[in-house]
Chain A
Amino acid sequence: MLYDEKHEAMNRDDLEQLQFTRLQATLERAYGGVPFFRKKFDAAGLKPGDIKSLADLTKIPYMVKQEMRDNYPFGLFATPMDDVVRLHASSGTTGQVTVVGYTQNDIDNWADLIARCLTSYGATKHDMIQVAYGYGLFTGGLGLHYGAERLGGTVIPISGGNTRRQIQVMQDFKATVLCCTPSYALHMAEAAGEMGVDIRNLPLKIGVFGAEPWSESMRAQAEEKMGIDAYDIYGLSEVLGPGVACECEAKDGLHIFEDHFIPEIIDPESGEPLPDGTPGELVFTSLLKEATPVIRYRTRDITTLTHEPCACGRTHARMARVFGRSDDMLIIRGVNVFPSQIEDILVRIEGVEPHYQIIVDREGVMDVVNVQVEVSPEIFSDEIKNLEKLERKIAAAIREDLAIGAKVKLVEPKSIQRSEGKAKRVIDQRDLQK
């Protein structure tokens, strides 16, 4: 099913014409309304009028996350605050947060895109939609909420956490659609088992899972344990939030809503555009966003694109499931974590720069973070309680600053593997390729 057949199944020529018209308007708005964009264009010797075709887009310099941080909080807003009706922010510590704004049109467009996603998963206005993404600055909860209402479904805005209550509500309200992170869905399935509830016997039929990397084997697990069809949803707050791309019933890549966003794949090292099928960094240009437009924004997500026709009838390009990052960012239970943030915490606690390693694993269905810290003579004490206190102190600081639980383990000096030049800081054992 298509929610907006006119746009989702538009022939390529018409779609590209629409993209170009919308791109021109976006460039004018950005250049005229945001000093950051004006400076960037001027430095490149460009005016919006120099972009005479979609192919000319590659003349424009890329935009990176650091530039968003540099313009914290509202430096990239292209509309007066009076026209901004909502703010969201990316996850991360104070220094890492980026803020995005939405006009009423932005909110409406976002709701439409989520409604398209839900429709492509087979949901309709008859569905009971349990939104178990976190509500708040995070885009997941409210993004899905507005889209589910737009579809006409009945929304259960339960937000994240309190797993027993989630299962009780799912059972009592006869939820048919569950929206949450894939790892939380699997956790729910386990918890339901402990409560004597078999989700397979409930009316639940669709899982809308995103906000963190997952794999085909997790999909198989979720579908088997919950008796549902599980679908991927993609997005990032800098570009919109969830609803930038979604899977269709073919479960073979995520359609990017090309009437709203122009995707590109580039070589993360050289910045050169890459052809379909070649893995590279995903780059987005927004076409309708008013409050915080993005132009050639580098997502750091590594994936491939294809323009091959899809069985579902949508003409929009598809991206493969994100299978890596071009930086060292980790997404742990939906929270973005950079190793440098953990390093900052260690330096702050010890006054030295200890060697450390972050090992991410999946125990059962939950991401588990182990932080190994080498003991230096400065922090070594003959008293075990002091060392254990140190472990707890580091874990508490990580929990407070990054909102993730980590197991901290002290290890001997030089026991953490050194690689050429740069220490290997992260070992991700979650095996998301399966």
Chain B
Amino acid sequence: MAIKQISVFLENRAGRLWELADELGKAGVNMRALSIGEAADFGVVRMIVNNPDAAQKMLTDAGFTVAETDVLAVEIPDVPGGLASVLGALKDSGINIEYAYAFVARVGEKAIVSMRVEDASAGEKSLVDAGFSLVDAQKLYTL
């Protein structure tokens, strides 16, 4: 079960991330998770939002460079070693992770890690086979 992640290219200048967040806020888009990767002179903001298709359209219209990417969201036990257990399953299948970011859900004892892997379907299979549950897209968007 792939989750739609919204990525946005941002120039490295003061206020630009605020402009992005402000646009999303005005459009009533709620963020579930946020990660920022930075290079020397630009950054890439990756987000999981409650309404990815609408967010992509709205941001494109507002002049942002946007890409939609499928990522995997996996529930992991919110205990020491939780992340390692998930990564172990991928390691055993030889699947490389491009990037990942974790967040703790509002309720319950689970955390969620969002990952971009080389081969999404193989990644999903190895995780499911190892007994992890992938988070349902609708459930994640409406957390």
Taking Cβ atoms with an 8 Å cutoff, the residues of A that contact B are 375-377, 380-384, 387-388, 409-415
Within the complex, the shortest CB–CB distance from A153 to chain B, in Å, comes to 47
Q: How far is the CA of A414 from the CA of B64 in the complex (A)?
A: 9
Are B39's CB and A380's CB within 8 A?
A: no
Within the complex, the shortest CB–CB distance from A235 to chain B, in Å, comes to 39
Q: How far is the CA of A376 from the CA of B19 in the complex (A)?
A: 19
User: Which of A377, A383, A411, A415 has a CB less than 8 Å from the CB of B60?
Assistant: A377
Within the complex, the shortest CB–CB distance from A98 to chain B, in Å, comes to 37
Given known contacts A377-B60, A412-B10, A415-B11, is B5 in contact with A382 (CB within 8 Å)? yes
Taking Cβ atoms with an 8 Å cutoff, the residues of B that contact A are 5, 7, 9-11, 37-39, 41-42, 44, 46, 60, 63-67, 69, 98-99, 116
Q: How far is the CA of A410 from the CA of B12 in the complex (A)?
A: 10
Given known contacts A387-B42, A409-B41, A411-B11, is B65 in contact with A380 (CB within 8 Å)? yes
List 11 additional contacts besides A382-B5, A383-B44; criterion CB under 8 Å.
A377-B60, A377-B66, A381-B7, A383-B99, A384-B38, A384-B44, A387-B9, A410-B9, A410-B42, A411-B11, A412-B63
Given known contacts A383-B98, A384-B37, A387-B44, is B67 in contact with A376 (CB within 8 Å)? no
Are B11's CB and A382's CB within 8 A?
A: no
Q: How far is the CA of A295 from the CA of B79 in the complex (A)?
A: 84
Contacting residues, chain A, for B67 (C-beta < 8 A): 377, 380-382
Contacting residues, chain B, for A375 (C-beta < 8 A): 9, 42, 65
Most A CB atoms within 10 A — which of B39, B46, B66? B39
Within the complex, the shortest CB–CB distance from B22 to chain A, in Å, comes to 16
Main secondary structure of the interface of A (DSSP, over half): loop
Please give me the residue from chain B that is nearest to A383 by CB atom: B98
Within the complex, the shortest CB–CB distance from B73 to chain A, in Å, comes to 15
What are 22 A-B pairs with beta-carbon distances under 8 A?
A375-B9, A377-B60, A377-B67, A380-B65, A380-B67, A382-B7, A382-B46, A382-B67, A382-B69, A383-B44, A383-B98, A383-B99, A384-B39, A384-B44, A387-B44, A409-B41, A411-B11, A411-B42, A412-B9, A413-B63, A414-B63, A415-B11
Are A410's CB and B41's CB within 8 A?
A: yes
Contacting residues, chain A, for B37 (C-beta < 8 A): 384
Q: How far is the CA of A412 from the CA of B41 in the complex (A)?
A: 11
Q: How far is the CA of A388 from the CA of B39 in the complex (A)?
A: 8
Q: How far is the CA of A383 from the CA of B39 in the complex (A)?
A: 11
Within the complex, the shortest CB–CB distance from B56 to chain A, in Å, comes to 10
Most A CB atoms within 10 A — which of B5, B9, B46, B67? B9
Q: How far is the CA of A382 from the CA of B39 in the complex (A)?
A: 12
Q: How far is the CA of A412 from the CA of B9 in the complex (A)?
A: 7
Please give me the residue from chain A that is nearest to B11 by CB atom: A412
Are A412's CB and B64's CB within 8 A?
A: yes
Q: How far is the CA of A272 from the CA of B88 in the complex (A)?
A: 78
Most B CB atoms within 10 A — which of A377, A382, A413, A415? A382
Please give me the residue from chain B that is nearest to A379 by CB atom: B65
Are A382's CB and B63's CB within 8 A?
A: no
Please give me the residue from chain A that is nearest to B6 by CB atom: A382
Q: How far is the CA of A160 from the CA of B38 in the complex (A)?
A: 38
Within the complex, the shortest CB–CB distance from A408 to chain B, in Å, comes to 10
Q: How far is the CA of A380 from the CA of B44 in the complex (A)?
A: 10
Contacting residues, chain B, for A412 (C-beta < 8 A): 9-11, 63-65
Q: How far is the CA of A412 from the CA of B8 in the complex (A)?
A: 10
Q: How far is the CA of A413 from the CA of B63 in the complex (A)?
A: 7
Q: How far is the CA of A414 from the CA of B42 in the complex (A)?
A: 15
Q: How far is the CA of A200 from the CA of B42 in the complex (A)?
A: 44
Q: How far is the CA of A384 from the CA of B10 in the complex (A)?
A: 11
Q: How far is the CA of A28 from the CA of B115 in the complex (A)?
A: 77
Contacting residues, chain B, for A380 (C-beta < 8 A): 7, 9, 65-67
Contacting residues, chain B, for A411 (C-beta < 8 A): 11, 42
Contacting residues, chain A, for B7 (C-beta < 8 A): 380-382
Are B65's CB and A376's CB within 8 A?
A: yes
Within the complex, the shortest CB–CB distance from B131 to chain A, in Å, comes to 28
Contacting residues, chain A, for B116 (C-beta < 8 A): 382-383
Contacting residues, chain A, for B9 (C-beta < 8 A): 375, 380, 387, 410, 412
Contacting residues, chain A, for B10 (C-beta < 8 A): 412
Q: How far is the CA of A412 from the CA of B10 in the complex (A)?
A: 7
Q: How far is the CA of A262 from the CA of B60 in the complex (A)?
A: 58
Q: How far is the CA of A323 from the CA of B109 in the complex (A)?
A: 71
Q: How far is the CA of A388 from the CA of B37 in the complex (A)?
A: 12
Within the complex, the shortest CB–CB distance from A363 to chain B, in Å, comes to 16
